[in-house]
Structure 1
């Protein structure tokens, strides 16, 4: 299936592309704001169009309303002129029709898209989403969760407007959007987790207290794990690897590689010969920790759809924990002259039926490598 995704450079667009990349079987055509001029050509060969592009904030209410309506009208026109009937999926909002400029714009947009799809003979799915959060949310823009993650990691003091809010992880939202490509009903309303804003901040602070010391905090149910994954991406980007304490005596050394509060998971150890490489994959949800205990290795990571590679030279002489952010491709290479011994920990026991491991190389054409 050839899928055109508008707003592909945005927060939800990135998560949708990551899920489509993991699932395979689709040719994804990302369309950002600048590419809207070529939308007709892209939609002409599409089997489906997922419309995510929107205006969340503007100089005034008129800019927000007109911007969202104009984008929906442009998509509608492209579908009508395509000469075919691509499936049309719209990422709507729970705020639709709530009287605000944004809510009214969403109401007008879904009507335009529905009418345009009917005129073109296209199936139409309206996906009504609550507040969406997740890895790589833009602070002070996409979600208060992204703002809190940024502030907690930076040591700042967030301002709390406490209230109940329904939160849905971006990968869960993306899963519904992918499902809509396969023929779900005309309207989809995925349910998130209802939580208080202050409770989210308290949880992130607790995570930070443990994680700063190298410990893996208790996250509880799946929502807590998703919140931790969002937090630890922010922590990784600012702090990098986590130094570990090596305790030595006349018998040798002891390194605690993973102190996991309230969880089990799976631990394993690998040996790697000089020049060999492991990894070359990414995960959507799984937590994974690498700790080199002997030898010299290089760990490289690249965020999906980026050409920026972060590399860390690690050694058993000074052990550090490198936790792989979700949806970052990663690998480990033995760059020394002797055998490399590495300890690994994942938060789940490996299930061959659901491995949450997707092959992709860190190396891409034109990649830039940065070492600390």
Structure 2
């Protein structure tokens, strides 16, 4: 368990890193703002005594001169604060890029930033990261994956202007690498990449979107497929939910299609809950979980980890609807009716008690209080 200070903690990679640290049970990191970086005395006080400083802040897009100077100046500002720190951190980790030193303004600036931080004399980790993808990426900024996901979620078709090979690393894997934690659970600190072409990526995500508009689950044969689908789903939430289910009626009654999966693992189970009983109060890093109320009425509540706003859905068994839990959102379901609640759950993997991918946290609060996580 390490104490952390993070620049860029509210960005895409910063959020994924904070979520993983939360899942590991580590203390909340110190978030270093641009204002902190501008004042070396304030910065030195904030990083004093921490185990690890993660420098994730950077400029990825914009005018080439601004990109170059922005990345160099951010690293220089951090170095000034570190040099004035009476109790310097044990390790400084820089979220560098595989493009460092490639002759572009961005790549050369990243190389200079690494040299600047290495010059502090502190233990230094130069983490060369490939293209990152994952939940809640910022479209038209963080990655082409986020752009394609957002375009498809809005019902449009991605445009591919230049096809080339991509090496994509999930942001949680990159976070594990930056935190220096061993591979385990839902992350791989070795950062195995998904190798794909831009056009192939667009077509794959388009296939996911076409199936998911009908509430169907695309083929999920490996961890990258699961994570890529989770990235797409993050751009659908909450506007696309609840999802209607296909229903077929005849003289005998009705049949409702709850899950139609096109490949990969899966496990289905059901539960009953007495009035006012709540189940859940946890989040997952990679596991996809589907809730369908078959009998009774309930409220499904969700909150993105590290955020305060709660999204709520009222559901009942009269008109069964799907709400799929987005990864890295704390969620729960509460029986709001006078009678028994019957809920069907589907997850995309077999339950492994050694790696449950379930992290307890209350929906209504971001506090780190111990909560009993119910199945």
What is the correspondence of 1:346-357 to structure 2 with a 5 Å cutoff? 346-357=347-358
**Counterpart in the other structure of 1:152:** 152
1:246, distance to aligned residue in structure 2 (A): 3.0
**Counterpart in the other structure of 1:64:** 67
- The structure with the largest helix share of the pair is 1
Check whether the contact 1:129–1:189 (CA below 8 A) recurs between aligned residues. no
Check whether the contact 1:125–1:180 (CA below 8 A) recurs between aligned residues. no
**Counterpart in the other structure of 2:97:** 93
Check whether the contact 2:101–2:107 (CA below 8 A) recurs between aligned residues. yes
**Counterpart in the other structure of 1:290:** 291
**Counterpart in the other structure of 1:214:** 215
- What stretches of structure 1 move > 6 A for 4+ residues in a row? none
What is the correspondence of 1:220-231 to structure 2 with a 5 Å cutoff? 220-231=221-232
CA RMSD of aligned residues (A): 1.9
What is the correspondence of 1:151-300 to structure 2 with a 5 Å cutoff? 151-160=151-160, 161-179=162-180, 190-300=191-301
1:61, distance to aligned residue in structure 2 (A): 2.2
Check whether the contact 1:167–1:194 (CA below 8 A) recurs between aligned residues. yes
**Counterpart in the other structure of 1:185:** none
How far does the alpha carbon of each residue in 1:291-325 deviate from its partner, in whole angstroms, 9 at most, with x for none?
00010100011111111111000010011111000
How far does the alpha carbon of each residue in 1:21-77 deviate from its partner, in whole angstroms, 9 at most, with x for none?
00113341122334434422211232210000001123x322211111111111112
Q: Point out where structure 1 has 5 or more consecutive residues left out of the alignment.
A: 183-187, 367-372
1:192, distance to aligned residue in structure 2 (A): 1.4
Q: Point out where structure 2 has 5 or more consecutive residues left out of the alignment.
A: 184-188, 368-375
What is the correspondence of 1:32-71 to structure 2 with a 5 Å cutoff? 32-36=33-37, 37=39, 38-58=42-62, 60-71=63-74
> Are the structure 2 counterparts of residues 13 and 344 from structure 1 closer, same or farther at C-alpha, using a change threshold of 3 Å?
same
TM-score by length of 2: 0.91
Check whether the contact 1:44–1:81 (CA below 8 A) recurs between aligned residues. no
Check whether the contact 1:12–1:52 (CA below 8 A) recurs between aligned residues. yes
**Counterpart in the other structure of 1:141:** 141
Q: Distance in 1 between matches of 2:220 and 2:181?
A: 30
1:365, distance to aligned residue in structure 2 (A): 7.1
TM-score by length of 1: 0.91
1:162, distance to aligned residue in structure 2 (A): 1.0
Q: Quick check: 69-78 or 322-331, which moved more? A: 69-78
Q: Distance in 2 between matches of 1:181 and 1:263?
A: 26
How far does the alpha carbon of each residue in 1:231-275 deviate from its partner, in whole angstroms, 9 at most, with x for none?
011122331221112333454432221111112311100001111
Q: Distance in 2 between matches of 1:135 and 1:298?
A: 24
Check whether the contact 2:291–2:324 (CA below 8 A) recurs between aligned residues. yes
**Counterpart in the other structure of 1:107:** 111
**Counterpart in the other structure of 1:370:** none
Check whether the contact 1:130–1:191 (CA below 8 A) recurs between aligned residues. no
**Aligned residues, how many?**
356
What is the correspondence of 1:353-368 to structure 2 with a 5 Å cutoff? 353-364=354-365
Check whether the contact 1:297–1:313 (CA below 8 A) recurs between aligned residues. yes
Q: Distance in 1 between matches of 2:338 and 2:110?
A: 60
Q: Distance in 2 between matches of 1:132 and 1:237?
A: 23
Q: Distance in 1 between matches of 2:137 and 2:105?
A: 23
> Are the structure 2 counterparts of residues 181 and 249 from structure 1 closer, same or farther at C-alpha, using a change threshold of 3 Å?
closer
Q: Quick check: 241-250 or 41-50, which moved more? A: 241-250
1:155, distance to aligned residue in structure 2 (A): 1.7
**Counterpart in the other structure of 1:317:** 318
Q: Distance in 2 between matches of 1:327 and 1:171?
A: 11
